[in-house]
């Protein structure tokens, strides 16, 4: 069965709609905001003017506060299930109260963009990795923060399914490894700006920041075994900014160490590490 990246059985994502582009994008704050918004939308008349007024008032509350002002935060992101556990589009025909009518043409990008946009993870991450990720992820908040990080997921996929030692790991063991990785993505210690880096702007015009301070004598950068392009991309994707190259090596070592876990005390990690490029 093909699993959807955007809407799974238990989890869903709305990262490309700007879900995390808010001044407080902690789990508690987003849960509260989406619950409140969904409850208000349930009371909103399903008319063009009613829905438009709802969106305008939600945006008015956020005016001037978006950490990335050019990245639209859609005011119609809410919870689309009764348990308040799956974020999604309140204008979607299958959202509660819409009676099958598609209202997405009202939103900022228009219905066509909403219906046809799929983030790069869709083409870069295999279904086996998505299934594992869905099994390993605790909730929507963590899921949306990792599912768009395709470089990191591609590394995990290579590590868990691509090495010749992969068959020695059980599914449960792989879940444990992915959970460690998710925890690192959520609490990555090398972020300088937690709020902005959580947003993870992954569109084509994204300009990743430097990994090291200007003028740092980056001997690591000159050693392609330690730092090839793949590691640069993964570290940037995580929102890393290091004070020095010792920190950078520690960060790479962390991810490499995942391959030693558990049931696997051989050298597969180093093989995966060295064959990344
Ligand atoms: S960021 Fe990707 S997975 Fe998430 S809702 Fe958008 S297209 Fe779907």
Instruction: Please tell me the residue having the least CA distance from ligand 1 atom 8.
Output: 6
For the stretch 70-81, pLDDT in tens is 999 999 999 999
pLDDT band at 204 (very low <50, low <70, confident <90, very high): confident
For the stretch 36-49, pLDDT in tens is 999 999 999 999 99
- pLDDT above 60 (res 276): no
Phi, psi of 79 (to 5 degrees): -90, 135
As a whole number, the mean pLDDT across the chain is 89
- As to burial, measured by CB atoms within 10 angstroms (0-12 exposed, 13-18 middle, 19+ buried), residue 62 is middle
pLDDT band at 263 (very low <50, low <70, confident <90, very high): low
For the stretch 161-198, pLDDT in tens is 987 777 788 999 999 999 999 999 999 999 989 999 99
pLDDT number for residue 182: 98
Better-scored residue on pLDDT, 33 or 260: 33
Name the pTM for this structure: 0.89
pLDDT number for residue 226: 65
pLDDT number for residue 224: 60
CA of 270 to the centre of ligand 1 (A): 32
Instruction: Please tell me the residue having the least CA distance from ligand 1 atom 2.
Output: 119
High-pLDDT (> 90) share of the chain, %: 74
For the stretch 21-72, pLDDT in tens is 999 999 999 999 999 999 999 999 999 999 999 999 999 999 999 999 999 9
Token pair 């690591």 is found at 220
Q: What is the mean pLDDT of residues 115-133?
A: 95
pLDDT number for residue 269: 44
Better-scored residue on pLDDT, 248 or 274: 248
pLDDT number for residue 259: 85
Domains of the chain: which residue ranges? 15-118, 122-274
Cα radius of gyration rounded to whole Å, the chain: 20
Query: In which element (H, E) is residue 78 found?
Result: strand 77-79
Q: Which atom in ligand 1 lies closest to the alpha carbon of residue 121? A: 2
pLDDT band at 207 (very low <50, low <70, confident <90, very high): confident
Residues sharing a CB contact under 8 Å with residue 151, sequence separation 6 or more, in sequence order = 230, 233, 234, 237
Comparing 7-21, 36-50, 145-159, 212-226, which segment has the lowest mean pLDDT? Answer: 212-226
CA of 12 to the centre of ligand 1 (A): 8
Give Cα separations from 126 to 48, 73, 122, 158 (angstroms).
39, 28, 8, 10
CA of 191 to the centre of ligand 1 (A): 23
- pLDDT above 80 (res 104): yes
Q: What is the mean pLDDT of residues 138-164?
A: 94
């Amino acid at each position: 069965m093909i699993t959807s990246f955007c809407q799974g059985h238990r989890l869903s994502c709305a990262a490309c709609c700007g879900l995390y582009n808010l001044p407080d994008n902690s789990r508690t704050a987003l849960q509260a905001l989406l619950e409140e918004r969904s409850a208000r939308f349930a009371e909103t008349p399903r008319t063009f003017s009613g829905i438009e007024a709802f969106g305008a008032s939600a945006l008015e509350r956020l005016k001037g506060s978006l950490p990335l002002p050019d990245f639209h935060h859609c005011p119609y992101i809410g919870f689309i299930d009764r348990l308040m556990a799956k974020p999604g589009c309140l204008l979607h025909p299958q959202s509660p109260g819409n009676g099958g009518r598609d209202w997405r043409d009202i939103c900022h990008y228009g219905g066509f963009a909403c219906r046809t946009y799929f983030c790069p993870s869709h083409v870069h991450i295999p279904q086996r990795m998505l299934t594992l990720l869905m099994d390993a992820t605790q909730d929507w908040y963590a899921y949306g923060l990792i599912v768009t990080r395709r470089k990191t997921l591609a590394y995990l996929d290579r590590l868990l399914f691509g090495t010749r030692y992969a068959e020695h790991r059980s599914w449960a063991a792989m879940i444990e490894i992915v959970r460690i990785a998710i925890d690192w993505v959520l609490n990555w210690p090398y972020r300088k700006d937690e709020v902005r880096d959580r947003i993870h702007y992954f569109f084509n015009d994204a300009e990743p920041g430097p990994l090291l301070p200007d003028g740092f004598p980056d001997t690591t950068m000159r050693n392609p075994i330690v730092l090839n392009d793949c590691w640069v991309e993964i570290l940037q994707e995580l929102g890393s900014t290091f004070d020095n190259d010792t920190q950078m090596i520690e960060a790479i070592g962390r991810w490499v160490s995942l391959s030693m876990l558990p049931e696997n005390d051989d050298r597969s990690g180093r093989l995966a590490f060295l064959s990344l490029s």
